[in-house]
Structure 1
C-alpha cells in the first residue's frame, strides 16, 4: 500500500474530550462537476479495524473501489447519502447546497451522531452539529474515508444510470466532470437538465451562454466554534 492507512485517532480524541459516543464521518463528491448532483455521505464506523485498502476514494483504482464500497456497505455501522440537485446548486450556491446535502445525509442515519468529522478545512455544516474539520480527513480518518468511497461509487453509478438519456455526454465515463467529450457535446447540443447553469464553463459556450444563470457566490465562511 503506497499510503498510510486511515486511523481512528481523531474519533478517539473527540470521544475522549467531549464524551461523544456516536461520531460520523462526512465527505462529498461532485463539487467540481459540470453536471449532476453534489453527493454527501455520512458514515458511522465505530472503532473496528477497517477493510484493506481503505483511503481517499480518488486514490483507489477501479474495480477495487467498487468492490470496497460493497464491502463497506456491510461493514459500517450505518451510512446515509444526501444529494443536492443541479437546480438547488444554482439556486443556493455551492456552500449552501453542500450543507443541504450533508443535513439530508445525517438526517438519514438511524441514530443522530453526537459529533461529525468533516473532510476539509471549511465547516460548511455549522450549528447545531458539533463539527471537527480535518484536512485530508478522507486519507487519515476511517469514517471519513469510508464516506468518501461510498459517496464516490454511488454518485458514479447514478451518473452511469442517467448516461443513456444523454449518450453524447458520456456521463458513464466522466460522471459529469469536465472532459473533452463532455465539452464537445456541450458546444454541439447545449446544457441538459443535469447541468449546473451557473458554472463558469457556460461563458465559453457561445451558442448557449444566454442560458447561464447568475451564480450565487458564497460569502466569507462564518467563524464557527470547533471542538
Structure 2
C-alpha cells in the first residue's frame, strides 16, 4: 500500500490491466481506467475487486458503475495473429498501448498490474504486483477488460461452434483441448499456443 500512496498526489493516474493472456483462442484485451479519489471510494464500496475474485453477476453490475464514475477509460486488444507474431508479452503490450491511446489526455502516471514494465509507454509508470488489491483503477480495468472480452468470445462461439467457447471463453479446458484434437484449430486460435497440443 505504501508504494501506491507515494504517487497518490499525481494529477491523472491511470490503472491498466490485461485479460486473456493464457487463452488458446481469441485476442488478448487490455483496459485502462482513470479515477479520482471520490470515484475510488465509491467503487470500493460498491464491491470492486480483482475481476478473478468476482462472480460474473458482480462484474456485470460493476461495469456501468465503472464507466459512469471514471474520469476516462479505454480498451485495446491484440489479435491471435499478433500474438503468434509478437509473442504474448509483445501482443499484450500492444493491447495496453492501444487502450492508453483511447484516453482523451495522456496520464501523469500509469499503474501497470504485475511486475513487467510496459516497454511501449514512454511516460511515467509504476508496476504493482497484485495491483488490483491496491489500486481501484487497476481493479476497475481488470473488470472492464474481462467483461468486454468474455462478451466478445461468447459472440464468437456462435461463429465457431464445437469448442465450448461460450463456457471456457477461450481458455484451455479439457473440452476445448479435445475439440481442438477432433476439429483442429479455427482461424482465431493462437497457433503458437497449440504446438505441443497438436504436435
Given the alignment, which residue of 155, 161, 170 partners 2:155?
161
5 Å matches for 1:173-212?
A: 173-199=167-193, 201-205=194-198, 209=199
Q: Give per-residue Cα distances to partners, 1:77-126, cap 9 Å, x unaligned.
A: 11100000000011111121111111100000111111100000111335
Q: Whose helix fraction is larger, Structure 1's or Structure 2's? A: 2
Q: What per-residue deviation string (whole Å, max 9, x for no partner) do you get for residues 39-88 of structure 1?
A: 01010011112321101000001211111112211111111000000000
Q: Return the offset for 1:204.
A: 2.5
RMSD, aligned CA: 1.6
| TM, length-normalised to structure 2 | 0.92
Hey, which bits of structure 1, 4+ residues long, moved more than 4 A?
9-12
Give the whole-Å Cα distance in 2 for the aligned partners of 1:140 and 1:21.
18
Q: Which has the larger radius of gyration?
A: 1
* Residue 94 of structure 2 corresponds to residue 103 of structure 1: no
Q: How many residues align?
A: 195
Say which SS state the counterpart of residue 169 (structure 1) adopts: coil
Aligned counterparts of 2:163 and 2:126: Cα–Cα separation in 1: 38
Give 2:34's match in structure 1, choosing from 27, 44, 49.
44
User: TM-score scaled to structure 1, two decimals?
Assistant: 0.81
Larger relative contact order, structure 1 or 2 (CA cutoff 8 Å, min sep 6): 2
Map of 1:66 onto structure 2: 60
**2:14 is paired with a residue of what secondary structure?**
strand
In 2 relative to 1, CA 98–151 (structure 1 residues): closer, same or farther, beyond 3 Å? Answer: same
Contact 1:90 1:196 in 2 (8 A): yes
Kept in 1: contact 2:31–2:99 (CA 8 A): yes
Structure 2: any 5+ residue segments left out of the alignment? none
Q: Could you tell me which residue of structure 1 aligns to residue 76 of structure 2?
A: 82
Task: Tell me the residue number matched to 1:215.
Answer: none
Distance 1:15 1:65 in 2: 26
